[in-house]
Amino acid sequence: MKIRLLEVIEDSPIELLLLADPSEKLVKEYLSRGQCFVATKNDEVIGVIVLIRTRPETIEIVNIAVREDHQNKGIGKRLVLFAIDKAKEQHIKTVEIGTGNSGLNQLALYQKCGFRITGVDRDFFIRHYKEKIYENGIQVIDMIRLSLDL
């Protein structure tokens, strides 16, 4: 598997991006101002990660997704560790990430990569998404915020 920057002329892997974030509007908004990296295997895109600069010396991983038939094989973890390395190269001091209250496996992954919970953005998914979203049988309401100091 290889990880590379998505070229400007390439189509973004929208189906994958929508796995992590069902709002096409939000996805397009942060794609336009972020760096999108793709994981490929035999020239097929099987994973994606999007980084945006937020505050000074801070980036946020705003989207990470692995194609369903390739999940649970360590690709998500490699993408997160790749983003951390990119941040270090760019002299970033803090990497942030957020996930829904129902994202039990995501919370496990991020904490295994060193992230710590910093807070809760209550009602984030009620404010920003029209449809009700469910995951693991739990309604997605609040965003759990995590960060990693480099």
Contacts to ligand ACO by CB under 6 A: 19-20, 61-66, 71-77, 97-99, 103-106, 108-109, 112, 136-137
- Nearest approach in angstroms of CB 130 to ligand ACO is 18
- Nearest approach in angstroms of CB 72 to ligand ACO is 5
Nearer to ligand ACO, 82 or 93 (CB): 82
- Tell me the C-alpha distance between 100 and 6, whole Å: 26
- Nearest approach in angstroms of CB 6 to ligand ACO is 16
- Tell me the C-alpha distance between 129 and 120, whole Å: 17
Nearer to ligand ACO, 62 or 92 (CB): 62
Q: For tokens 């369903």, what's the residue?
A: 68
19 within 8 A of 37, measured Cβ to Cβ: no
Amino acid type, 25: K
